[in-house]
């Protein structure tokens, strides 16, 4: 009986391993929780904790599989059934960076093999980003310091508001955006009933700071109420907390909690019924045994004020709670949010055949490409890059030349016979030497600089001045012989050939891509198939599962060759037509110009 049950479980395990939350999401990643990094928390469990997941190129490679608005992102608990609430603080597709806050039911250092899933890739998905639901009800204010104006909005459901006063925004801080204070700047929080202190519940505040040098009694946090003033501050390089009651008596911890200037560290203030405690990087550093009376919601400022107690440095991720927090809470923040955070590790992406399809098949094919195939694909990528650069550069050049040509010909046709040289500029029209692309993109365009017709005109005027001088307007003194006119035409014909050569320069790279790309890809395919069959012959395994991966991977090089050749073919045909049009226009212009000077100077 036991053997039968064991056999049943063995058959069940593969089904469990391949369980999938929703087939419409074709991609997922397993996020493992490194419990060993939480040893300093002890064995106590932190419930409803909001943790930070940093995605970057070092731990995740599928950024381009996300929807543009990341509406496809989902986090599922280890049972592969329960969705977890989350919100995205920052998503940067260009730099491949994302900061996501996830609400996990519980976490502790004694968790073994704890993990969650991240699903993505459903282009039809509707966003599930839930900023306010990502925090527990006791977190009454959470500021990521994101945004662009002077008003900060709270990320919790309480929607607290804060105002930046003379404070500099930092786009790249510890976690996404942050702020920088200069001694005369501070943040003022709008008074809220949620900021009151009740002895049965407690009160706490935490934030990340990067103090600049030694501080002269700088206030990180100040809560002014009718019952007294609560302060979390820095004296020199030591953190302290103080309570000043309504009678003016001050209760203060020693400023012995060490802070390291010019580096990020997590600081926190926690109040319960009997004591005030301060934490640095998740460790309690000092405390004060004093029962604070109930205080109402008063004025809260961060960073001192414009007149005194100004804090100098950076600040990020402010959290205010209406309850007293256990030391494990602050330790978890430090281990999870800091620069050396290692709470999470991501597995390789997994794909399913459902949903969008496609992605998993291409991933399987690419994994099967052999070394010789990658060499061929690498050569094709270089060929593709060269051909695409030529196409883009030529399209920009032809477009600019056409615009300048039209402008020049419109003005040329308005010239009277005696104004033949009126449009010529004395200086050389090439601002960047002989580089047509540089002249087109970065050069001036105030005098037909990119017009091939104008280049011919400029050369012809130069020849004309050599024969008749600069006083072209007087017919009697500027007669040209038929031999002179023929010489000018010959010069123009030579210039036309040179302009044509410039227009057609580097077009040979497109013909190489068109003709060579498919053949190079075919070479990779033949080599890949040969290697596959050689491996089958050596192993004696003729199973289709042994043949299919190698053959499909070998065919990938042919696909790569076609990807190189097809755009180059379309680009070459388009550019050839446009270049021929410019050459025809130059031919017509040469005839027009020679006719004009022959008519006036004969």
pLDDT band with cut points at 50, 70 and 90 for residue 291:
confident
Q: What is the mean predicted confidence (pLDDT) over 295-313?
A: 84
- Using DSSP's 3-state secondary structure scheme, residue 161 falls into strand
- How many other CB atoms are there within 10 angstroms of residue 482's CB atom? 9
Q: Report the candidate in 311, 58, 300 with the shortest Cα–Cα distance to residue 208.
A: 311
Residue 482 has pLDDT above 90, yes or no: no
pLDDT per residue as tens digits for the range 321-334: 999 999 999 999 99
**What pLDDT shows up at residue 357?**
41
Average of per-residue pLDDT across 242-258: 88
How confident is the model over 588-598, as a mean pLDDT? Answer: 83
> 259 pLDDT exceeds 70?
yes
Higher pLDDT, 111 or 154: 154
CATH number (domain holding residue 306): 2.60.120.200
Q: Is residue 360 part of a domain?
A: no
Strand pairing partners for 209?
Answer: 265, 315
Radius of gyration of the chain (CA): 37
Can you tell me the distance from the alpha carbon of 126 to that of 123, in angstroms, rounded to the nearest whole number?
9
Claim to verify: residue 513 and residue 542 sit in the same structural domain: yes
356 domain-assigned: no
φ, ψ of residue 581 to 5 degrees: the values are: -60, -45
pLDDT at 4: 47
- The pLDDT of residue 304 is 84
Same domain, 248 and 386: no
* Selection from 14-23, 377-386, 465-474 with the highest mean pLDDT: 377-386
Range of the domain at 48: 20-134+342-351
Q: What is the pLDDT of residues 73-97, one digit of tens each?
A: 999 999 999 999 999 999 988 888 8
Residue 566 in tokens: 């097809």
- Residue 59 has a pLDDT of 87
d(CA 280, CA 304): 20
What is the pLDDT, as a whole number, of residue 294? 85
Query: What is the predicted pLDDT for the residue at 391?
Result: 92
Q: 0.75 exceeded by the pTM?
A: no
Supply 499's token pair.
């302009």
Quick check: is 15 in a domain? Answer: no
- Rounded to 10°, the helix 544-601/371-412 angle is 20
Strand pairing of 228-236 and 350-351? unpaired
- Determine contact, residues 232/269, Cβ cutoff 8 Å: yes
pLDDT at 8: 42
DSSP state letters, 37-87: GGGGGTTPPEEEEEEEEEEETTT---GGGS-TT-TT-EEE-TTSS-B--EE
Straight-line distance from the first to the last Cα atom of the chain, in angstroms, rounded to the nearest whole number: 118
User: 387 and 515 share a domain?
Assistant: yes
Region 124-153: mean pLDDT is: 89
Give the CA angle between residues 391, 397, 402 to the nearest 5°: 125
| Co-location of 293 and 395 in the same domain | no
Structure-block tokens of residue 115: 């993990």
309 in the same domain as 217: yes
State how far the Cα of 550 lies from the Cα of 530, in Å rounded to an integer.
10
Q: Hey, how many other C-beta atoms are within 10 angstroms of the C-beta on 268?
A: 28
Query: In angstroms, rounded to a whole number, what is the distance separating the alpha carbons of residues 285 and 257?
Result: 5
Which tens digits make up the pLDDT trace of 169-202?
888 899 989 999 988 888 999 888 888 888 889 9
Are residues 433 and 311 located together in one domain of the fold?
Answer: no
Q: 176 and 120: one domain?
A: no
Q: Is residue 4 part of a domain?
A: no
In terms of domains, do 119 and 258 share one? no
User: For position 445, what pLDDT does the model report?
Assistant: 66
Predicted confidence (pLDDT) per residue in 427-473, tens digit: 555 565 566 667 666 666 667 877 888 888 888 888 888 777 655 54
Q: Is the pLDDT of residue 592 over 80?
A: yes
Which residue would you say has higher pLDDT here, 122 or 433? 122
DSSP symbol at 311: -
How far apart (Å, rounded) are the C-alpha atoms in residues 536 and 529?
Answer: 11
Q: Is residue 357 part of a domain?
A: no
Q: In whole angstroms, give the CA distance from residue 485 to residue 471.
A: 17
Domain identity same for 35 and 64:
yes
Domains in the chain: how many in total? Answer: 3
107 and 197 together in one domain: no
Whether residue 363 lies inside any domain: the answer is no
Q: Are 194 and 142 in contact (CB under 8 A)?
A: no
Do 401 and 475 have their domain in common?
yes
3-state secondary structure of 109: coil
Residue 180 placed within a domain: yes
CA distance 67 to 73: 8
* Residues 396 and 478 reside in one and the same domain: yes
Average pLDDT over residues 252-276: 90
Which helix (H) or strand (E) segment holds residue 244: the answer is strand 238-245
Domain for residue 9, yes or no? no
Three state DSSP letters for 385-421: HHHHHHHHHHHHHHHHHHHHHHHHHHHHCCCCHHHCC
C-alpha 107/C-alpha 45 separation (Å) is 6
Residue 102 pLDDT grade (very low, low, confident, very high; cuts 50, 70, 90)? very high
């Amino acid at each position: 009986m036991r053997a039968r049950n064991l056999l049943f479980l063995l058959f069940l395990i593969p089904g469990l391993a391949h369980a999938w939350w929703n087939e419409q999401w074709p991609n997922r990643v397993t996020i493992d929780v490194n419990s060993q990094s939480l040893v300093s928390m002890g064995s106590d469990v932190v419930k409803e904790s909001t943790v930070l997941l940093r995605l970057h190129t070092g731990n995740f490679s599928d950024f381009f599989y996300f929807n543009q608005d990341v509406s496809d992102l989902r986090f599922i608990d280890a049972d592969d059934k329960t969705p977890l609430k989350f919100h995205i603080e920052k998503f940067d597709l260009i730099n491949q960076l994302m900061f996501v806050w996830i609400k996990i039911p519980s976490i502790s250092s004694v968790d073994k093999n704890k993990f969650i899933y991240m699903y993505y890739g459903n282009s039809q998905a509707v966003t599930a980003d839930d900023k306010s639901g990502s925090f527990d009800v006791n977190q009454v204010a959470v500021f990521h310091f994101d945004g662009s104006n002077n008003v900060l909005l709270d990320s919790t459901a309480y929607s607290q508001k804060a105002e930046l006063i003379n404070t500099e925004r930092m786009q790249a801080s510890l976690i996404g955006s942050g702020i920088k204070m200069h001694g005369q700047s501070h943040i003022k929080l709008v008074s809220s009933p949620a900021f009151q202190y009740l002895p049965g519940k407690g009160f706490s505040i935490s934030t990340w700071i990067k103090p600049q040098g030694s501080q002269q009694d700088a206030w990180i946090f100040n809560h002014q109420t009718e019952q007294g003033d609560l302060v979390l501050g820095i004296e020199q390089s030591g953190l302290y907390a103080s309570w000043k009651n309504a009678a003016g008596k001050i209760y203060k911890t020693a400023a012995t909690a060490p802070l390291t200037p010019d580096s990020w560290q997590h600081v926190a203030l926690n109040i319960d019924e009997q004591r005030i405690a301060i934490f640095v990087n998740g460790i309690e550093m000092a405390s004060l045994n004093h029962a604070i009376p109930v205080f109402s919601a008063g004025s809260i400022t961060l960073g001192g004020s414009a007149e005194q107690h100004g804090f100098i440095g950076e600040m990020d991720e402010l959290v205010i709670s209406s309850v007293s927090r256990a030391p494990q809470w602050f330790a978890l923040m430090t281990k999870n949010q800091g620069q050396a955070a290692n709470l999470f590790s991501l597995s390789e992406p997994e794909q399913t055949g459902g949903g969008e399809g496609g992605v998993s098949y291409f991933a399987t094919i690419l994994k099967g490409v052999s070394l010789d195939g990658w060499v061929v694909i690498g050569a094709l990528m270089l060929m593709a890059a060269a051909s695409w650069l030529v196409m883009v550069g030529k399209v920009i050049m032809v477009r600019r030349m056409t615009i300048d040509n039209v402008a020049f010909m419109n003005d040329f046709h308005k010239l009277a016979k005696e104004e033949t040289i009126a449009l010529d500029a004395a200086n050389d029209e090439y601002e960047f030497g002989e580089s047509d692309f540089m002249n087109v993109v970065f050069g001036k365009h105030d005098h037909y600089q990119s017009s091939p017709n104008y280049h011919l005109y400029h050369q012809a005027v130069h020849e004309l001045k050599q024969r008749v001088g600069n006083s072209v307007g007087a017919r009697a003194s500027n007669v040209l012989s038929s031999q002179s006119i023929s010489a000018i035409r010959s010069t123009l014909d030579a210039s036309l050939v040179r302009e044509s050569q410039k227009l057609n320069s580097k077009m040979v790279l497109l013909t190489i891509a068109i003709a060579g790309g498919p053949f190079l890809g075919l070479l990779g395919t033949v080599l890949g198939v040969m290697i596959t069959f050689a491996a089958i012959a050596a192993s004696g395994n003729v199973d289709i599962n042994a043949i299919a991966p190698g053959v499909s991977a070998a065919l990938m090089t042919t696909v790569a060759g076609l990807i190189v050749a097809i755009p180059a073919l379309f680009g070459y045909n388009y550019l050839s037509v446009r270049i021929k049009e410019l050459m025809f226009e130059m031919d017509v212009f040469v005839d027009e110009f020679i006719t004009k000077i022959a008519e006036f100077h004969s």
